[in-house]
Amino acid sequence: MYQFLKACLLLVLLVGCGKKVEKLFPQREDITQSVYASGTIKSRGQYEVFSKVPGIIEAILVKEGEEVKKGQEIIRLSNTVQSLNYENAKQNAQFNSVLTNKEKIEQAKMEMELAKSKMENESSLLARQEKLWEQEIGTKNELDQRKLNFKNATTLYNAAKLKLDELEKQINFQNSQTSRSAAINAVNMNDYIIRSQIVGKVYTINKQLGELANTQAPIAIIGDANNFYVELQIDEFDITKIVKGQKVLVSMDSHKGESYEAVIEKIYPIMNERTRTFKAEASFIKNPEHIYPNLSAEANIIIQIKNKVLTIPRSYLIEDSYVLLSNMEKRKIIVGLKDYDKVEVLKGLSEKEEIAKPE
């Protein structure tokens, strides 16, 4: 009776009161070590469109899903006040231009030439009077009067010349100043016309006609319709394993059952302190069909691949370094690469030794 109970207890321990123990032999298979990362599909060059100035939306010139060229107008804001400012600036620039003030300059030149002629004439009369004085002809008073006349004529000439110089400087300054003001207003006018910065597709328009556009909220989203990549979030514990050029297998809920190849193209060298992750970009080797920005994705970044190595299922591994043989002996093994399903066995087990799945 004692022997029967002992056998029954052993049977319970081994097979769980009738439950069959799963067993198998190690297999030689390829095994891949990879790092998991969550991700988001992005369009190449994708950016949020902001207005440089606040204003009421006067016209929306494109539709969502429409392809646009670089520099193409997409939205126009009302700019009545700015338009008036621009017209005023143009009129000021025209009024103060050198061409418009040409007559003033010509008048000042004529006055200077007249003063110069008078000065030269007085100089000639003074020289003649001085010769007469040397010959004791004339009076000292006549000579002094000639000298005074020459001095006054010289002063008038210098004053006319200074007036011309100051007028030219003033006109040139005003011309330059008002021209710059007109140019600035012209640039400001362009701020009321929002253009696409790239060749791409309009994915979203966030505003409607008559709504206020400000400088803080995006008006639209535009991106390349033919070039996509995956923006990955990689855990800080895995980032040291990631390098440019590594192969990435990408899956998406929108494309169930499909896997797409990509390559790590860029790794951002700063961690997001809130999520404790690093950002990386992986470019598709071939763009999936019917793909859109902001789709969620999952990725496995391939770190290492080994071919035809001895493997066992991960579910058969105990405490990361033991297996249970079919005779219920617990044995220590040395493991290598791991993936989600399999573990590489380096030492401690042969492919002829059967193992049991632990409960």
How does the average pLDDT of the chain come out, rounded?
A: 85
Question: Residue 231: which pLDDT band, with cuts at 50, 70 and 90?
Answer: very high
pLDDT at 45 over 60: yes
| Angle between the N-to-C axes of helices 140-190 and 102-134, in degrees from 0 to 180, rounded to the nearest 10 | 160
Average pLDDT over residues 62-75: 93
The span from the CA of 357 to the CA of 156, in Å, is: 117
Specify the pLDDT at position 132: 86
Asked if residue 191 has pLDDT above 50, the reply is yes
pLDDT of 8 over the 80 cut: no
Q: Does residue 4 have a pLDDT over 70?
A: no
Residue 272 has pLDDT above 90, yes or no: yes
pTM of the model: 0.57
DSSP class per residue in 199-246 = SEEEEEE---TTPEE-SSS--EEEE-SS-EEEEEEEETTTGGG--TT-
Give the pLDDT confidence score for residue 86 in this predicted structure. 57
Please answer whether residues 16 and 328 qualify as being in contact, where contact means their C-beta atoms are separated by less than 8 angstroms. no
* The predicted structure's pLDDT at residue 2: 43
State yes or no: pLDDT of 83 exceeds 70: no
What are the angstrom distances between the C-alpha of 173 and each of 156, 261, 271? 25, 64, 54
- Phi, psi for residue 317 in degrees, rounded to 5: -90, 135
Beta bridge partners of 282: 230, 264
